[in-house]
Amino acid sequence: MTKKHHAPQTPHAVPHRMQSRLVKEARTRRIIVIAGTAFIATVALIITIGLYIDNVKPRSEVILTVNEREFQLGYFVDMLETYTRDMDPTQVGTVADAILPQIVQSELIRQGARAEGIFITDKEIDAELEAQSLSDKDFYRDAAEATLSSTALNAAFLEQVPTEMLQSKFQILPVESRSVADEVKARVAAGESLVDLAAEYSVNTNIPVEQDWLPTELLVNADVARLCDTLDIGTTATVRDDDTAKYSGYWLIEVIDKDSDGAIKTRAMLLSSKDEALQVKARLATEDFATLAAEYSQFMGGDENAELDWVGVDDTVTAAFNEAAFALEMNTVSEPILDPEVQTLGANWVVTLLGREVHVVAPNIADALASQAFNEWYETVYDASVVEQSLTTEQKQWAIERVTD
């Protein structure tokens, strides 16, 4: 039986017009795919560039130069992030303000130590980081080197401290004014000691009256040091110090308005001593309260006219202030009101020299002299350095946002 042979089938021919349309559709699809791919790539590139501009590029901006060493914003951000971890976000700005001075100090110590021939090795830095459980970040390495350099410098300064020095033994008492100092001197001349009078007259009980053997190089006040270097043993003298802090002051208060609920509107000034308060009050007879307050007052709570906010019966400025102010008649300036709750600047030192001779330098005194030498060395290094700070408000805010977001 023979097979049937089928005639070969001829493909259906696509009309020319249809073929042209299919070609166009295919081409269009290719164009759409290519255009879509290009669009996606462009969007990705834009996003990448945006992320780079927003998050990466600013990190490379120079914000500080210390003797030609540049510090970038990224260094600042890394420090800020580390130091504020788990901190209330509202406190981050305060920490940010303290970072640049810390970087400067650390870098100047590192550079200054190297100039003195003190070189800290990488191995020593690694050991310090491990001992403090710190990561191997640039700013940690810098801080570790600065710490080790400071230790080495202090040790060098300590070696330079002599074993014996001329030292003074004395008593010292801070009192509020020259007139009080003269009163204290008279009582000392009558046989009392400054130790006996401290409870009655001292305006800063944190300062010990009895000072053991001490080199005058360690005394902060140069005039007190001069007294210890020149006074005859057993004699007493006084000297003014406008910068020393004391825990007292004197108010001059005037009530300028009252309301129906008993609240008062006042203007006030805070003076350093009773003597000063009396002198200023006498001048108020012919001079303006606000003008004198601007010149003499140490109170920072008033406005440009020395006026305070309204004070109600349940409000308290200080106990002494409230007691006096609510008892005042309108438009009458108070007498000087002593207030032991406030702090003011300015006092008189009363000094009695008990002895002056060469003594062995005690370990704590040697440490203090070495620290003083280190501080003086650092001031010299700082003064000779070129420090350029260029951190802008915008850069600082950017850094804060990176840390708090």
257 and 225, same structural domain?
no
Element holding 346 (H helix, E strand): strand 344-360
351 and 215, same structural domain?
yes
Q: In angstroms, rounded to a whole number, what is the distance separating the alpha carbons of residues 327 and 329?
A: 7
Q: Which of 325, 299, 302 shows the shortest CA–CA distance to 313? A: 325
Tell whether 183 is covered by a domain.
yes
Q: Provide the CATH number for the domain around residue 319.
A: 3.10.50.40
Percent of the chain with pLDDT over 70: 86
259 and 336, same structural domain?
yes
Mean pLDDT of the chain: 88
Tell whether 118 is covered by a domain.
yes
Grouping H, G, I as helix, E, B as strand and the rest as coil, residue 381 is helix
Q: What is the pLDDT of residue 1?
A: 46
100, HSE (Cβ side, Cα atoms, 13 Å): 21
Domain that holds residue 237: 167-246+345-360
Q: In angstroms, rounded to a whole number, what is the distance separating the alpha carbons of residues 361 and 339?
A: 41
Model-level pTM? 0.74
148 and 100, same structural domain?
yes
Q: What is the pLDDT of residue 7?
A: 47
Tell whether 18 is covered by a domain.
no
Tell whether 29 is covered by a domain.
no
225 and 105, same structural domain?
no
Listed as ranges, residues in the chain with pLDDT below 70 are 1-57
Element holding 12 (H helix, E strand): none
Tell whether 131 is covered by a domain.
yes
304 and 253, same structural domain?
yes
Q: What is the pLDDT of residue 74?
A: 92
Q: CA distances (Å), 399 to each of 54, 95, 152, 392, 405, in order? A: 11, 12, 34, 11, 10
Q: What is the pLDDT of residue 199?
A: 95
Q: What is the pLDDT of residue 356?
A: 96
